[in-house]
Each structure stands twice: as C-alpha cells, then as structure tokens.
Amino acid sequence: MVECHRVDAAMRNWCEIVSRFGERFTASELEELPGAGAAGGFAVAASGVIGARIDSGAEVIARLTNLAGAVADADVVVIGEGRLDEQTLAGKGPAFVAQIAKAARKKVFAIAGSSTLTANQYLELGIESEHDVVTLVDVAGSVAAALEDPRHWLGAACEVLGERLIASGL
C-alpha cells in the first residue's frame, strides 16, 4: 500500500511539472485524463505538452488486428492473465477481449497464474463458470510451485483446458 501512495504522489508531481511546461491543462485536469494512471506518465506528458490524444491501447490493437472479425470466426475465445482480479475487470486487455467475445456470443475461457474473482465477477467478464478458468496455482497445487516452474505449469494448464474443451464437445 505504501508503494501505491508513492506512485500516486509521483504521478501528481509529474502532472504539476507537465502542466507548467505544457500550459494546455491544469495539473488536476491532467490527473483526470483517461490513461493517466500509474503507467500513464508518457501519456500525460504527450497530452499536456503537445496535445496528443490518449486512446485505449486495447481498442487500438483490436482495430488494427480486426479482433472483432477474428472473434466472430472463432469457436471459443481464451483469454490469459497473470492474475485475474479487480484490475482485470477495470479495463485491462483480457477483459476487453472477453467483452468482444461476450458481445459476439462466444464462449470465453481463461488461463491465468491465479485468480481472486468470484463466480459473479466471472459472469461479468463473460466467463460462464469457474470451471472455464484454469489457473497455474490450481494445477500446480500452490503459488510456490507455480512460481518455481511457470513454463511447466502453463503447459499443464493448457492441457487441462484442452481436456475441458474436448469434454465439452468444442
């Protein structure tokens, strides 16, 4: 929690600096820009100083790769995430992909290192059942085991998901 406060304080300081040099926005306006979160230092500077537009990275990649078309052609969609959690639901890439799949009425599965989501949160994400999520922690039996050899446990998680897909008739 201390690190979050430090990052927030550093970002507020950065917004102050950019507002002085850019003169396009006040520091508080920069702090409220979409994409101006903890990783948004460059976005804030580019917007505040040269007037760059901040777009969702997921939306840009989806458009450039015709993600909606690929999802429409898919039988199922598998998303991946280091950890499925509240941040995933707050707009990270896998949630964006899952929403496209949900809109296209495609079944969504997930492979993740771990998950703290509830059954209702899975539904919100577009995942019908907890059984449609395979985590390395579950397959490995513990966080320590999953972290000790993640490549092995990722392969094992893929095998488990593949078996579930076959069993479901997909």
Q: pLDDT (tens digit, 9 = 90+) per residue, 63-74?
A: 999 999 999 999
Burial (Cβ within 10 Å: 0-12, 13-18, ≥19) of residue 147: middle
CATH 3.40.50 residue window(s) in the chain: 58-168
CATH of domain 58-168: 3.40.50
Q: Give tens-digit pLDDT for 18-58.
A: 777 766 777 777 666 666 555 556 666 666 666 667 777 78
Token readout for 166 is: 């076959």
Give how far Cα 129 sits from Cα of 91, 110, 118, 144, Å: 20, 10, 10, 26
Contacts of 16 (CB under 8 A, 6+ apart): 27
Residue 82, pLDDT score: 94
Q: Which residues pair with 142 in a beta bridge?
A: none
On the question of pLDDT at 14 being above 60, the answer is yes
Kindly write down the DSSP assignment for every residue of 3-68, as one continuous string: HHHHHHHHHHHHHHHHHHHH-SS-HHHHHHSTT-STT-HHHHHHHHHH-PPP--HHHHHHHHHTHH
Residue 80 · residue 105 · CB < 8 Å: no
To the nearest whole percent, how much of the chain has pLDDT over 70?
Answer: 79
pLDDT at 38: 53
pTM (predicted TM-score): 0.73
* Distances, alpha carbon 25 to alpha carbons 14, 39, 45, 133, in Å: 13, 19, 11, 43
